[in-house]
Structure 1
Amino acid sequence: MINFGTGGWREIIGDGFTRENVRRITQALCERMAAEGVEDRGVVIGHDRRFLSAEATGWAVEVFLGNGIPVTSIARPAPTPMFMWTVRDKGCAYGMAITASHNPALYNGIKIFTEGGRDAEVSVTDEIAARANALRDADVVAVAPEDVSGHPLLTVQTSLNWYLDAIIDKLDMETIRHRHLYVVLDPMFGVAQTSLQTVLMTARCQVDVINDRHDTLFGGRLPSPTAATLEPLRQAVVERGADLGVATDGDADRLGVIDDQGHFLHPNQILVLLYDYLLDGKGWKGPAVRNMSTTHLLDRVAAAHGEVVYEVPVGFKWISAKMAETDAVIGGESSGGLTVRGHIAGKDGVYAGSLLVEMVAASGKKLSELYADILAKYGVMEMIEAAYAFAGERKADLEHRVFVQHDLPEFPVPVERVRWDDGCKVYFAGGGWVTIRFSGTEPVLRVFCEMPTLAEAQAISGLVASHLGLN
């Protein structure tokens, strides 16, 4: 059964991720395009460095061409945000990325983009999934593999330069050039090396790269930039005396950062730093958008500048939509994705990392000093993130208990209100909160808690886990 989550369709290779399912999803998208009368506007397709990504791109291209749809195929592994940018740049109706983003190496998947290079809405992916599940193999129309090369409807694109130039044009390159920053880059065996290295070296940064070889097992680590997975980057920054380390996940739409002292900067901290920089350092005006599991410290930054923060459900498509509606300056999530007004409507680790380097260069300070300034201005909030795997049969029980019976523990602090539209979020008097929700990309239940102190966050997170029998 094909189902799309908050970050696209992701399945274990050889189990759910098969040639047949890739072809069915592509055929379903082709039929949607035909029903909308947008076949002539074509699609953009690209892939990451995962096992079978290049081959799956070929399977999809065969189906697009079989249905008479013009295809721009990115011929080399490239960042997912580059595909989104190309959809917008070429005015295509849809786009597709073969990637499982930050999932473990045994997964692969598909992300679908709509007009303007935006993540497809739930209504779109639900319809595509329903049609794909109804298709038989005989319903899929495709050209033979040997007929792909030289096909009149196929454009093969090898250059990333248009996307990179669009990022460079948005940066204060002159300021970066004269700071002579030393950056260590960790693409986590993914697709960001060429893009980020090109941008930073164009700005005259000294750039060292680790974990750059093609390794479909991602060095045995999860290709997601966390404190644990970025330990090699932390060591490299400290040992080499670099100004900072920048990492991206497997398909380069998420960002992780190590400061000059070897401290991991959580995505929440990066989001707050960049919003403050865009308002104070660049003089921008406008609100911010965050999802329900992202730091409320962002709200303090907004309030200090007479702005507001809009809260949306988890899933970057909600952030993109609210940013477009409110002309927000920045939008982001605690998992490491963010975007900035004027760029693509989806998350982009390449642009976010480049903008962070600009921020450090423009400040004349170390990154560790910049975050110390943030805490001095806006105070401290501490977050605990926990993910609990569960057997398949437990999900229904947990869903009923929490989201139907509303069975929550007795909290040690006053509850202000509870939100139930995307999992559960409990807001506490005094500014803290806790969320309980099932992941849209992995079989886990996530519990996030943010409080004024780490001890309070640990206590409430532990209380939820104990109450639900998750420990």
Structure 2
Amino acid sequence: MPIKFGTDGWRDIIAEDFTYANLRTVAQAHAQVLRAAGGSSVVVGFDPRFGGRDFARVVAETLSQQGLGVWLASEYLPTPALSFAALHLGAAGGVMITASHNPPQYSGYKLKGSYGGSATPAMVAEVEAALARSEPYNGPVGDIQPLDIREAYFGQLDRQLDLSALRAYRGVVYHDAMGGAAAGWLGAYMRSRQFGFELREVRGEPDPLFGGVNPEPIPQNLTALMDTLSHETGQTFAVITDGDADRVGAVTAGGQFFNSHQIFAVFIQHLYGRGLRGRVVKTVSGSRIIELLTHKLGLELLETPVGFKYITDAFLEGQADETKAVMIGGEESGGLSSRGHIPERDGLLNSLLLIEAVAMSGKSLGELFADLEADVGFKHVYDRNDLHLSSTFDKAQLLSRAAAYREVAGHAVESVNTRDGVKLTLSGGASAMFRPSGTEPVVRVYVEAQSAGDVKAILDEATRRVQALDNG
């Protein structure tokens, strides 16, 4: 089976197609692209997935044999720390061995740029194209040295946060690392900076099986945590980081899931209140409330396809042209970055920003978001289904059919957006989006409306239509 790149690199099933041999092929192609651009060094890291340390070693050896100097992590580390290392050390790029939120049987080869963020679409295309050609290398071999980035990365977090507010805050915060790469990192940072809040760690040990769930911070993977928070009151809440710690989720007191759209909106308001300005960048799957809030605040909104690499492009454009500077960019999956940080999703920083928003406002996350809804006049209710379908499912047929829908569950289609998948704007302020996964036989159906009843009706109907196509 040919090696196929997705939104930020290559992911596959361990021992089936994710093998040492294929890793060497990908690393060699990556090295060719880096050398052609004048690069001389690269950073390599891995998360707690099965075989991560050995996969990273194979990649490091291959890159060094191709003439690149390599900084190789000796222990698992979060993806944002690896991305920061590329910028901090002046490397030409980075490799993170991770499959992020994918099931435990997957691993992956994430590409990172010299600027400390996801590889741009152009960079991904270059590496994929290089797979088709073999260019022998006969030059000197690069050296491999250990990567120790924790304290430098912690210093970068210091520059993004109001440390005095975090030291003064006396609330209770849970951190569910899901057995992933953030395990131990948030607690270590908090203790080293002597913050005043109490941190209760959940699934805080690295676990290649992630406790038997996919390491993605969505409700079906957080049932135990939501039950624990159901007994809490007031401002107490939980932050959740995914398998490689680049995404963030939250659960509020009472056990309510606080989704990524809500987090994004709270961040916009919080950062604006701290004096940050610039464009807001969202992917097409993002909530209408982001559009309404940016309009109310007088901020420019840019919409991109799904994939943080497109948001990275916007950050880099803003770094080159101050008039296009990005205040914050985010996606439905919980990946966000903000001005002044690396152009990369960072679940650790975003967890701390959520705590900072609560500490500085004196309000719970739920109260902060309720205030936003009132300000923009929109009630946000959201849900999604991840439909696991047959390997022969015709994704192209689904998108063609969906683009032709005239109504869904009695809601008329007002407009069709095919920027990535198919997103239907429906009557009553609702929307439904169909987007096939690029790495799995999965179709994701996203629904937003202004009542739980409408969300359920639209999601049920959209799900039935997808499943009917799969059943032929």
Return the alpha-carbon distance in structure 2 between the equivalents of residues 414 and 142 of structure 1. 63
Select 1:359's aligned residue among 352, 357, 360.
357
Number of the residue aligned with 2:321: none
CA contact (8 A) 1:255 1:336 kept: yes
Is it true that 1:12 corresponds to 2:4 in the alignment? no
Number of the residue aligned with 2:313: 321
Pair 1:258–1:461, CA change in 2 (3 A)? closer
Pair 1:384–1:240, CA change in 2 (3 A)? closer
Shift of 1:110: 0.8
Aligned ranges 1:82-93 → 2 under 5 Å: 82-93=81-92
Number of the residue aligned with 2:25: 24
Secondary structure of 2:281 counterpart: strand
Secondary structure of 1:393 counterpart: coil
The superposition leaves residues 128-149 of structure 1 with CA deviations (integer Å, 9 ceiling, x where unpaired) of 234335559xx69999xxxxxx
Return the alpha-carbon distance in structure 2 between the equivalents of residues 295 and 63 of structure 1. 43
CA contact (8 A) 1:289 1:322 kept: yes
Shift of 1:401: 5.0
Number of the residue aligned with 1:198: 188
Pair 1:421–1:159, CA change in 2 (3 A)? closer
Shift of 1:4: 1.0
Return the alpha-carbon distance in structure 1 between the equivalents of residues 367 and 288 of structure 2. 21
Shift of 1:309: 2.0
* Letter aligned with residue 151 of structure 2: N
Structure 2 unaligned spans of 5+? 318-323
* Letter aligned with residue 45 of structure 2: G
Return the alpha-carbon distance in structure 2 between the equivalents of residues 377 and 404 of structure 1. 37
Aligned ranges 1:376-415 → 2 under 5 Å: 376-378=374-376, 379-395=378-394, 398-400=395-397, 402-403=399-400, 406-411=403-408, 412-415=410-413
Pair 1:231–1:462, CA change in 2 (3 A)? closer
Secondary structure of 2:219 counterpart: coil
Shift of 1:429: 5.0
Return the alpha-carbon distance in structure 1 between the equivalents of residues 245 and 159 of structure 2. 20
Select 1:287's aligned residue among 279, 282, 286.
279
TM normalised by structure 1 equals 0.91
* Letter aligned with residue 221 of structure 1: V
The superposition leaves residues 394-433 of structure 1 with CA deviations (integer Å, 9 ceiling, x where unpaired) of 22xx413533894425343343322223221222355432
Return the alpha-carbon distance in structure 1 between the equivalents of residues 340 and 402 of structure 2. 43
What is the aligned-residue RMSD (CA, Å)?
A: 2.4
Is it true that 1:131 corresponds to 2:127 in the alignment? no
* Letter aligned with residue 318 of structure 1: Y
* Letter aligned with residue 174 of structure 1: S
Aligned ranges 1:62-461 → 2 under 5 Å: 62-132=61-131, 153-201=143-191, 202=193, 203-239=195-231, 243-279=236-272, 281-325=273-317, 326-378=324-376, 379-395=378-394, 398-400=395-397, 402-403=399-400, 406-411=403-408, 412-429=410-427, 431-461=429-459
Structure 1 unaligned spans of 5+? 144-150
CA contact (8 A) 2:330 2:337 kept: yes
Pair 1:162–1:47, CA change in 2 (3 A)? same
Return the alpha-carbon distance in structure 1 between the equivalents of residues 127 and 251 of structure 2. 40
* Letter aligned with residue 154 of structure 2: L
Identity of aligned residues (%): 31
* Letter aligned with residue 410 of structure 1: E
* Letter aligned with residue 109 of structure 1: G
Pair 1:259–1:405, CA change in 2 (3 A)? closer
Shift of 1:231: 2.4
CA contact (8 A) 1:27 1:141 kept: no
CA contact (8 A) 1:243 1:367 kept: no
The superposition leaves residues 49-73 of structure 1 with CA deviations (integer Å, 9 ceiling, x where unpaired) of 0001100010011111111201111
Select 1:467's aligned residue among 446, 465, 468.
465
Shift of 1:183: 1.5
Secondary structure of 1:193 counterpart: coil
Shift of 1:470: 5.4
Shift of 1:328: 2.1
Pair 1:434–1:106, CA change in 2 (3 A)? same
CA contact (8 A) 1:409 1:464 kept: no
- Count of paired positions: 457
Number of the residue aligned with 1:147: none
The superposition leaves residues 270-305 of structure 1 with CA deviations (integer Å, 9 ceiling, x where unpaired) of 1111111111x3132233111111111011111221
Return the alpha-carbon distance in structure 2 between the equivalents of residues 337 and 140 of structure 1. 37
